[in-house]
Structure formats: C-alpha cells, structure tokens
Chain A
Amino acid sequence: MTKAHRLSRRNFMQASALSMAPWLARLSISAGAIAATACQQHESQSGFVALTASQADDLGAIAARIMPTTETPGATEAGVIHFIDAALAEAMSDRKPPIEAGLIQFNEALKAAHPTASKFSALSETEQDDFLRTQEDTALFNSVRVMTLWGMFALPQYGGNKDYVGWELLGFEGRPNAWQYPFGYYDAQVHNAEVGDE
C-alpha cells in the first residue's frame, strides 16, 4: 500500500469516525480498539491480526463443527473466526498464549490419530467430529466453543454474527429493540380474544 493511499485512508477513517461519534459514544470502551483492529485486519497479509494463517485454519475448522453449516448458516457464514481473531488481538489477548499452546497439543493428538492428515480441516466432517469428541475435555476445545457461541451471537461490531445470521438462526429479531404487544403465540390468543370482545 502506498503512503499516499494510507494517508487518504486515514483521512477517510477520521471522517467516518466523526459521523459515527454519537453512535460510538454509546458503545463500550473497546469499540475504538475494535475499529482499529478491523482496520489493521484489512491491511495485514494473512487477513488476521492475532492469528497465523494455519492457526486461523484450525480454529475456523473447529468452530465450523461446533456450529456447522447445515440448511442454515453456521460459524463459517457468521465469520466466527474474525470474532476470535479480533478478541485474541484485543479484549482476550491474555487467552492467546493458552490457545496457541492448546493448538500445538491439538495437532500432536491429531498426528497420533491421523498420521497422514496434513491438518484438521483436511479430514472429512465425520472424521473431524470423531476427533473433536476426543478433545471435548481440553481447555482449547472449551475456549473455542465459548468463543464460537460469542462469535455467532454477539453484535456484528465484534467481527462475527455477520449480517446477523446468528440472530436469524434463533428467530431473534434483535433490532430495532422496541416491540409492540402481542409478542408471541399465546399472548396473541389472549389479545385477540380481548379485541374480539370489544
């Protein structure tokens, strides 16, 4: 990227930051850091800030078995790996060393179970699930499980839940955060009966 390009990009970021200021003010303190991370993310070669390409490949593949793509979107479509990357770069940076260590152990166990497999994502889905069942009690698996759920369902500003696919999966219409009664099937029955009486 040329220097001039970078400068104009920075100007653009500042201009858009200004217009977003009232909105940003309502967010948690980490919003600025997230914006910075997102910015760096686009500039980094691997496409990731905290993770190497192979770490991202492993974690993304594990996440994709925790929340698999079926007839509905899963972790891959939600961009969970970008949530994990942004979290490990900033808010959860203290978790990066144990996750890196966990991945090394994970790949050692993988090598023992599948000596010919080049990497976890190279296994079939069934093989992946079978292998993950042997890893369910590891700290790594539990961390990735939690981060996958967060990446599915946290606000998209954190990198995951792209286009709110996680919320759609649940039938959670989380926007615009204001609802008119009746809300559900059973209270609508009462409501309709009352309206019918009038």
Chain B
Amino acid sequence: MSNVTFALDEAVDFVIVGSGSAGGILAKELSTNGFDVVVFEQGPYRKSHEFHNDELSILFRFELHGGKRENNGQTFRRTADERAQMPGRGLPPADYAQTVGGSSVHFTGNFWRFREIDFKERSIHGAIGGTNFTDWPLTYDELEPYYTRVDWEVGVSGAPGPNDAPRSKPFPMPPLPIQSSGVLMERAAEKLGMTCQPEPHAINSVPFNGRSPCMNCGYCMWYGCEHGAKSSTLATMIPLAEASGRCEIRAESAVFRIETDAQGRATGVRYFDAEGNERAQRAKAVIVAANGAETPRLLLMSASERHPDGLANSSGFVGRNLMFNAHSAVNGVFEHPLNDYKGVQVSRIIHDFYDADPARGFYGGGGIDGRSLFSATPIFFAMAGMPMDGPSWGKAFKDEMAHNFTRQMSLVGSTTSLPLDRNNITLDPESKDRWGRPALRVTYLDHDDDLAMAKFLQDRSVELFDAAGAEKFWRLPVGPASNSAHLLGTCRMGDDPERSVVDRYHRTHDVPNLFICDGSSFVTSGRGQPTMTIMALAFRAAEHIAKAARANEI
C-alpha cells in the first residue's frame, strides 16, 4: 500500500477525488513531477491478484459496485416529471466500480481513439435544435500526443484500421488474436463491402512494461484482471505514483464535500473514513476525477452560500448533458462452436458508419463490434442470452442453451448521444447512499436520433449475420437506456463560462484551484468507447496543471 501518509491539517499540493482512468493518471503525473498528492477512493484497495472469476459475486452480488444493490445509492427516472426509483434488479443506473483503479479495473478494455470529426461536428453539421451540441475547445491534433502517451505508457494493443485518425507512433503491441466472432464478421463484411479492422484494447497482447500478456480467460467485462494484463490504472499508473513517495492512496474514504473559503477558493475535502468517521483533508488545490456521475454529485453536494447551486455551477451545467452512448445488439448462432468465451470480448470492429451522414435523415454515427457478450460466462448467458420469444425453462430451454452457448455471438452497435438538458445527474431529495450522502439521481431518455442510429446499426448487424450464414439470429429491442457504464458530459469543457464548467485545461471557470477531469469533461460523446479519451485528457490536464502549479498560477 502507500508508503507515505500525509497529515490531515497540512495542505497537500493536490487532493484528487477518484482513482480511476483519469485520477490514476493525474496521481502518477503530478506525484512523479514532485507534487504531494492524496488520492481518495471510496472503494477498497484490491490488488490484481485478489481479482477472481466468480460470476455470481461480480455480476449478481455487485462485489465491485459497492456490495449490495441497496448500497449503490442511486435512483433512476426517464424524465423530470417521474419520481426516481431505486432500481429493483440489475446493475445500477450509473455503472462504475468502487475499487482503487475505479472502472478502469472492470471495464472491457475496448479502446478507440476519437477521430478528428468528434471534436468539430457542430461546425460541420450545424446546430441541432433542442440540444447542447457544440464543438470541443480542442482538436484531435492537440490531443494526439496524449493518445500516444496512453498507448505507450498505459499499454494498448492493436493495429491501424483504414478509418483511423492519424497516429504519430505505431501501436506498442500487436492486436490480440482474432476470435471466431471476428472471423465470421470479417467474412460477412467482405461480402457486403464493409471494412473490418482489429479492435484496439487496453489489454496486453504480449508482455509489456513488466506486466503479463492476456491469458484469454474471457472474464473482461465487469471483472478485474487477475493477471494484470488489463491496462487499468491500478496495474499501470498507481504503482508508479506510489513509488514516487509523494502519493498516498486513501481507500475506503468517501468524499462528501469540497470546502471553500471566503475568497471562493477550495481548501480541501471532507470525507468519511473506513470506520465512517468524518474527516477533513486540507489541500492547496482539488482535482475531481470521480466519474461523470459522482463528479457532478460531489459539486452539487458542495453548495454553499457563495455557491448556492453547487460548486463551480454558475453556468448551471453541472450534471447536465449526461451522455450514455446508445446501443443495439443482435445475437446469432452458428453451426460450429465459436467458443467465444475464450479470449476478450471483441476482436473485430466495423467503423464504416462512424461519420454522421445527413442522407440517413438523422444525426449520429457509430461502430459495430463482434463479441461474445452474453456467451462469455454461463450465468449471464442463462439469464439474458437466450432468444426472447422462446421457452425460459424446461427441456427445450435447457437443450437450446446447451446447443447455443459455444455457438453464439453478438453484433453490438454503439452510437453517439446528443447532449440534452433533460439528461442529467441531480441529488435525490429522498434517498441516501450508505454513507448518508444524497443518492445520485440519474434522469435519462435517449434522443430520438441516438435511437435511430442504434436501429441503423442493428439493421447493418442483421445484414452481417445473414451474410455470415448464421443458423439463427434475433434482435434485442432498441429502446431508451436505463443504465450505462459511459458517464459523459456532465461538467463539460468549454471557453464560454456561461455554457461550460471547466476551461480547455480542466480548470473550473468559477474556482481557480478546482479542476475536473474525467468523462464529465466531454463535450460530445464519441462513438461508444470513451476510456481512451478520458485517459488522454488526463495526461494533457496533468501537464497543464503541473505547469500552472510551478508558475504559481493556481
């Protein structure tokens, strides 16, 4: 564990709230550049060797999501006129891990860079009425060096595809092996004139930076990697941060308030320690990297006389513009076993529909991937992977399950989401989480264009299954989402303090020594794999924050 402990009443250089994709990188960058850093993580400090493939515990007893479902402290509603409810079953509405390394520990490892278009679509396609669709205050070229740092310092495997944005250095690792789902998708794409490319992964394909290559165990989505092959910040950045001797990871410590002084500057954070005692850590600057759901909740919880609508919220944009990325899925069964439960979720993708095309009659773009999805693990398959119109118990159900498990794959579409006022994170006025903090209330209803794009990708997926010669395939309904692991846009970046929460360097417009960097910084949603961009933004933010600190400009 951390070999340095900082005193509560002495102001450290930085408090970072959150140890995930952004927090882990910021911790490493700032501590190795000579700054004292305390990282707060509400979940426990699990190490890679403690992860396991216990599906019941991970998926149905919410081991990495904070334990019991009641503990998640989240409510959901589609629109503001509904009373938000604690979901009765399934994963929480905002799906993130509570563990050191955050969701980089349990994410699937699909790892797309954004392309040039993602940063300037408003300029190209024009305004979209009723939305907050706008350009980013930075370009792909500005972010490219940081994508490359993620490739080489965090660890990415892959091979360039025909549709990729330019890269300044090649992938450091070759792609992971093609699976049967990838082969079938590739053959179908060729028949249909589409283009398949290898999926890039934040998973080692060969030994890299002292870490193991992937063992193809298949437990990627929602699981921690016991081999340390997944490039989580737990496996990559946090050990380097701790080795600096300047970074303390304070686990099982749930921040509930950012403190500010009479001048409106942040002075530290208040939190509950592992025993539930209230504590306060003083800091010269605070960085919130708690994810696109927790970050706005913390700012809203930090309201004060000076900041009555929540900290850094003079724009009213804190919590707004939540974007999930919409999805579609088609399941298909083939004659011979694919055994796609071996290996990672995805080995091939199609990015031919990445750009928005006005000819479609709606805004949106996305990608299709071929993956095991339900047939990665047996309980998930039995619970959710079988045809929806067939039997759900008895001999026929059992026989079909036994036939399909090794022969099934899915084609998944992931799309853009438009930023809307109505989709947001607010404080639930009634429910609390297990620390007594107001529950995180998620209000979400996909824009019609997002669902139209998902439907479009589903139609292409059906064509692909047909061309691949599947024995049987069936659509899962495309409809409004009620949960997501992609938590984007809720403290957006921008030059205009009236229309954004942070500036282009992640400093809040309202509080000079308060920074925010995570999925909440996104201006648009990308096409469905946000973690690479969160990490690139974190490297870039760290560079600018360190520069400002050295120049005494914080």
Contacts and interface: CB of A to CB of B under 8 A. Distances in A.
Given A170-B401, A170-B402, A184 B177 contact: no
Contacts of A184: 179-180, 336-340, 342, 406
B475 interface: no
Contacts of B397: 66
B395 A146 contact: no
Interface stretch (B255-263, B291-299, B377-385): B377-385
A74 interface: yes
B481 interface: no
A190 B399 CA distance: 30
B341 A172 contact: yes
Contacts of B50: 25-26
B56 A150 contact: yes
B43 to A, nearest CB: 13
A186 B187 CA distance: 11
A153 B394 CA distance: 16
Interface in B35-84: 49-57, 60-61, 63
A178 B218 CA distance: 8
B446 to A, nearest CB: 28
Interface residues of B, number: 50
B378 A153 contact: yes
A195 interface: no
A179 B382 contact: no
Interface in A171-198: 171-172, 174, 177-187, 189-190
Nearest to A144: B393
B217 A177 contact: yes
A186 B216 contact: no
Contacts of A148: 393
A179 B402 contact: no
A30 B401 CA distance: 29
Nearest to B50: A26
A172 B61 CA distance: 22
Contacts of A119: none
B450 to A, nearest CB: 31
Contacts of B336: 184-186
Contact of B343 (A26, A70, A145, A183): A183
24 contacts: A27-B57, A28-B57, A30-B61, A65-B394, A67-B393, A68-B395, A150-B60, A150-B379, A152-B378, A153-B378, A155-B54, A158-B56, A169-B398, A169-B401, A170-B378, A177-B219, A178-B216, A179-B343, A182-B177, A183-B342, A183-B343, A184-B338, A184-B339, A187-B177
Interface of A: 25-28, 30, 65-68, 70, 72, 74, 91, 129, 132, 145-146, 148-150, 152-155, 158, 166-167, 169-172, 174, 177-187, 189-190
| Interchain residue pairs A-B with the least CB separation, the first 10 | A185-B336, A184-B180, A186-B180, A184-B339, A183-B342, A153-B378, A170-B405, A28-B57, A178-B215, A154-B56
